Each structure stands twice: as C-alpha cells, then as structure tokens.
Structure 1
C-alpha cells in the first residue's frame, strides 16, 4: 500500500489533495471546541491539515506512508512558518513517536485499510496512542452515495460504528462531504469519538 501512495504522490494522481485544510476539521475544532494539545494527523499527505492545526496552537505530528508527501508537507510548513513534525511510516506497522496524544485526526486513512480486521486494528492503535478521554476525528467515505468511478472507499454507518465502538464512544456522527475542489465532493461520514475508559497496549 505504501508504494501505491508513493507512486501517486510522485505522479500527481492525488484527487484527495486539494491544497487546503478540510473544512470539517475546522468546524469540529472550532465548534466543540477542541483545545490545543499534542495532536497526531494520520495520513497527513502534503500537510494541509497539520499546518492549519499548528497555526491554531496544536503541537502536531504528521504521519504518512509517502516520503514524497512528507517532503512536500515539510516544505509547506516551512513556508507557512508553522512548527510541525512530519514522519514517514506505516501507521499499523511502525511506532509513532511522542505519544500520548490529546487529539487524533485522519482524513480518509481508516477507510483505506482494506480488511475489516485491519480497520479494527487501526482503531485499537489510535486508542492506545490517546490520553484518557482523548478525541479522534475521522472522515470516512460514505456508502449512502453510489460508488464513484474515482472516489474514496466507502463504509456504511453500521460498518464504521462496529469498527470503532469497542474502543470509542461516538460523540457525533454526521453525513457530510469531504473538503474538495471537485464540483460535487464525495460524501463523507464525519465522526468524532472519545476514547473509552479501557486500557490498551501502545502499539
């Protein structure tokens, strides 16, 4: 999977990267509000969301499979004079530095894991990296929309909650759209969760 994303960033075939912070992240952080804290952006890509979070006072680590994406994220952060740390790695396989985190964000990373057991392992690892009552915001392709020829993997609400509820309390689950420069952006689940009071080993 790592090589696939690296090839797509090198070729520029990245329809999910529209060069701006995702408005769903802005709305959730501003509305809840989520207070600045140590934060992990999983699948950070070229750093749009990590840079925005750093500008709001968050202590951000961006984590991505693609070395090309991470290089661009570092360049973007330097131009914006935003203090972020970016790490190349496989979230499920590699250690994540500087845990625990108060807030975790992923935009389309959870839904990219193909097997149900892999998605469960992803959720368990997020929980293991969070402080007690830590928050996770995930944006996931929404199966209420017909499958697009080019578009994100999709889950039903039932599939998503089955993956996350063993480790997380669902604070809010809303049907929306990904931030995008497409005329009709893909449908998304915008799911904010709080870590349950359970003990999981850090992975």
Structure 2
C-alpha cells in the first residue's frame, strides 16, 4: 500500500490519526494523477523511439518488395506515425492539464479523456500489428507462389495462413500482456484517484 492509500485509510477510519484537510488529500491525488499520466506519456515516447530505431536497423531485401508493397508501406507508415504522434500529443496535453490545474472538474475530465485515449492507443497498436502481419503474408505469398503449380499454391497458402495466423495470435497475446502490465496498471491507478476525488466532492 503506498503512502496516499495509507493516508486515505486512516483519514476515513481512524479518529486518532492526525486530521488531514480534504484539500490536502485532493492535492496528493492531483500529484499522483499527474505522475501517472507523465509515465504514460514517457512510455509511449520510448515505444515510438524504439519502433523508429527498429525500422532502421531491421535488414530488408528490396528485391522481395513490389512497387505496390512500397507504396502501401509508405502510406501505412505515414498514417501510423501520425496517429501515434496524435496519441502522444494527447498524453502530454493531459499531463500538462493535470499538472497546471486546481479545478477538480477539469482533473476528472482529463482522467476520463486519458483513459479513453489509452484504450484507443492500445486498440490502434493491436490493429496495426494485425494489418502488418496480414499485409506481409499476402506479399510473401504473392512473391513466393509465382510459377508454382495449382496444388503447390493451395498447399502453401493454407500452410502460410495457418502458421502466420498462429504466430500473429501469440504475438498479440504477448502485446496484450505487456499493455496490461504497463498501461492497464497505470489506468487502474487513475481510476482509483478518480473515484476518490468524486467521493470527496460528493461529501463536500
């Protein structure tokens, strides 16, 4: 149990515990929420940086890529980074709003917006992974099945679809576990702060 939870527990239940003004509790909740959103912002920036580095160091064979592949890859990359940039901007804006506000209503609204953006951020990344696997699979099949017999084409399509689908499913499962450990954990803490702030305001 962290210091804020311990303080709130005594504040609620122990009459012998030194009295703490509600404004002090609210101030601690503001700081806690600001810190949580800051970490969401930092983690998303680190993920973006690692993704860019990975894209540069990952070896590619340009001979395997058709002109259509290159066009789709460029369009997808631009859209992906623009959307990710939008989420990161919102995380930073939420952090600044919480850090600079003393208005509980604004804080509550910012917490709700942050939770919504985190959920959309996670969904977008998962859908991007699915699209990437599907697109790479189609490209591989298109390049590999040239001049093959009908029987070989059917067999290889079934094999590649099953194998890559299983690999994609396992990879997404790992990604969901990662998001659950990091983002969901932080969001749950934000939810606790939100509920406590609402309870304090209703008891005013």
TM-score (norm 2): 0.22
Report which of the two has the higher share of helix. Answer: 2
Greater RCO, CA 8 A, separation 6+: 2
Report which of the two has the higher share of strand. Answer: 1
In our comparison, the structure showing a higher alpha carbon Rg is 2
